[in-house]
A and B are shown apart, each in its own frame.
Chain A
Amino acid sequence: MRESFEEIYGRYDDLCRKNIRSDQDLLNFEKINLIKESLL
């Protein structure tokens, strides 16, 4: 199921308002999520 751009943007916008401040933060966040997904 594909998401709309607005849905995806909303998610990233929320992240950036909270603890994601830089590309490095975002990259780390994504890496952690990938690891979590692979463990599930």
Chain B
Amino acid sequence: MEFFGKDVIIPAGEIDVGKTYWSQIFLREHPQFEYFSYGRTYDLIDMQRTEKHDKNITGPFTHQSERKCTQMMEEFVQTANGQIIIDGYLMNLPFRAALFKYLKQYDFKIHVVYFSMEYLVRHFYENACKAVVKSVLYERYIKSFKKRYIKEGRIDELFDIEDHIIELVSKRRRMSSEEIYTKYLNDPEVKERLSDEINALIRSIYKYHDYGQESRIMYYGSDIFYWIHE
């Protein structure tokens, strides 16, 4: 990733694909970045994130608490020294467009880092990301990619992935972010290995990927679009 001085990174992608997890790793590698979590701020203020998702509410201003955490986001942007991450949750179209437009007023270069389910399954299952053990996500994963893999004749790969999925789901390994950091990142040996892995990912994957007009439009308004899959 190339930075320009005033940068904002917006991790994007479906719920629980590892955006927050990645952000925390990234922050350790790039401590000059400041972090704001829209969803977490929301949790702290009021209604639970799950409740929000259940109601299929993805934009702000449907609730007083949302107005409050949006104001906090504004304060964060206005006082940020230059390089920030805005980690959020599912953003609807007007919210996303408004966020980008708002950030542009402050001359930020907007980097959208898009995480696919495929990336999650392939790279994060071993690192105990809490999301990967949720069977519902695996069902979604299979639904998303099965047809494509069959169409492309990648049957063996599909079976490999499904084996991993079955194994992981059967283990029901659930870890909170805190547990991940305590058990994994505080262990120097694991930390080093993980760091190497993350660096390798950055070298090999975090390159600009021209994923076509459609995906770029999905993140309309961004200056730089990174597609992270496998």
* Interfacial residues, chain A to chain B (CB-CB below 8 A): 2-6, 8-9, 11-13, 15-16, 20, 22-24, 26-27, 30
Contact = CB atoms under 8 A, between A and B. Distances in A.
Interface of B: 59-61, 67, 70, 73-74, 92-95, 97-99, 101-102, 105-106, 217-218, 220
Q: Interface majority SS on A: helix, strand, loop or mixed? A: helix
Contacts of A5: 70, 73-74, 98-99, 102
B190 to A, nearest CB: 40
Contacts of A24: 217
The 3 closest A-B pairs by CB, nearest first: A12-B94, A9-B98, A8-B98
Contacts, number: 52
Nearest to B100: A8
A16 B61 contact: no
B220 A16 contact: no
B94 A6 contact: no
B59 A23 contact: no
